[in-house]
Amino acid sequence: MSGPGIHLPAAEAFELTWRGEVALLQPPGWQASGVVAAVSTRIGGVSEGAYRAMNPSLSSGDDPARVEENRRRLVLAIGASGWPVATAHQVHGKAVHVVATPPELAWGQGISPRADALVTALPGVLLALVVADCVPILLRAPAGRGVAVVHAGWRGSAAGVTEAAVRELCRLTGAAADDLEAAIGPAIGPGCYPVGPEVRQEILLNHPWALAETADGRLDLPTLQRKILEREGLKPKSVLTSGLCTRCWPDLLFSYRRDGRASGRMAAIIGLEKQE
Ligand SMILES: [Zn+2]
């Protein structure tokens, strides 16, 4: 089913799926193979103004009661009602947190670790990070052995958060990197992301090969992330890129650079289905 007024270009690798009023961006086929995975859109929530409508983040000034309702709707839409949700206090670093015991039941309750990537091998647990312009990356190991979610802006990319998450997921599950699959969600595109020379310098420090992705005073974060994943050993065909620029899709996606700090975020969510 397609939604009112939103038509993704046919070339985009994510599917826009509707669960009642909630629209999700999902990597095709993952849901059918035991992994629940989505990046939320602005559509289907109850927030207003710059947070309209599906804002799952409490950190940018939205009404907590509306955020709570949005989170409830999101978990329901993804088909994981009642699952505990692990989150992180995101700090644009490279720390990876392994969720080894089920977190507190409700999203946002309990203590969140300072991390920008979450990894788990536990079924029936959701991992959720929030983004707006930074790159959300969903990762899965084969045969339902484990999943991860990464928040990679330029600082996290420069620090190596994606490499750290891939290695942790392999360590935890025993999978080889070339058996992993990745989905790179909507993020700010190169045409909308001018950066200063200091950003390029920071990226090149750990990624000296990233000349094209940091050329001409612009940063191409989604392509940089794809190349990082491939250099870590993922097969090119196992890496999906949404191709959607957050800044260019105002009705569908939040954008920090377009809307400012006091605006909404998208949630990148992943989890393993419980084996019955
Ligand atoms: Zn754009």
Which protein residues have a CB closer than 5 Å to ligand 1 (ion)? 189, 192, 245, 247-248
Q: From the CA of 243, how far away is ligand 1's center (Å)?
A: 10
State mean pLDDT over 103-112.
77
Cα 55 to Cα 48: distance, rounded to the nearest angstrom: 9
Q: Could you give the number of structural domains in the chain?
A: 1
Cα 265 to Cα 139: distance, rounded to the nearest angstrom: 20
Whether residue 48 is predicted with pLDDT greater than 60 in this model: the reply is yes
Whether residue 2 is predicted with pLDDT greater than 50 in this model: the reply is no
pLDDT of residue 1: 35
pLDDT of residue 49: 96
Q: From the CA of 74, how far away is ligand 1's center (Å)?
A: 25
Q: From the CA of 221, how far away is ligand 1's center (Å)?
A: 12
Quick: pLDDT tens for 4-43.
Answer: 567 776 556 899 999 999 999 999 999 888 999 999 999 9
Query: Does residue 55 form part of some domain?
Result: yes
Query: Does residue 4 form part of some domain?
Result: no
Query: Does residue 10 form part of some domain?
Result: no
Bridge partners of 240, per DSSP, are 183
Q: Where are the alpha helices (DSSP H) in the chain?
A: 64-77, 154-159, 161-173, 197-206, 221-231, 256-259
Query: Does residue 7 form part of some domain?
Result: no
Per-residue pLDDT band for 107 (boundaries 50, 70, 90) equals: confident
Instruction: Identify the domain containing residue 26 by its residue range.
Output: 15-272
pLDDT of residue 33: 87
Query: Does residue 103 form part of some domain?
Result: yes
Query: Does residue 265 form part of some domain?
Result: yes
Q: From the CA of 192, how far away is ligand 1's center (Å)?
A: 4
For residue 172, what are its two tokens?
């935890």
Query: Does residue 198 form part of some domain?
Result: yes
Query: Does residue 9 form part of some domain?
Result: no
- pTM across the whole model: 0.96
The CATH number for 113's domain is: 3.60.140.10
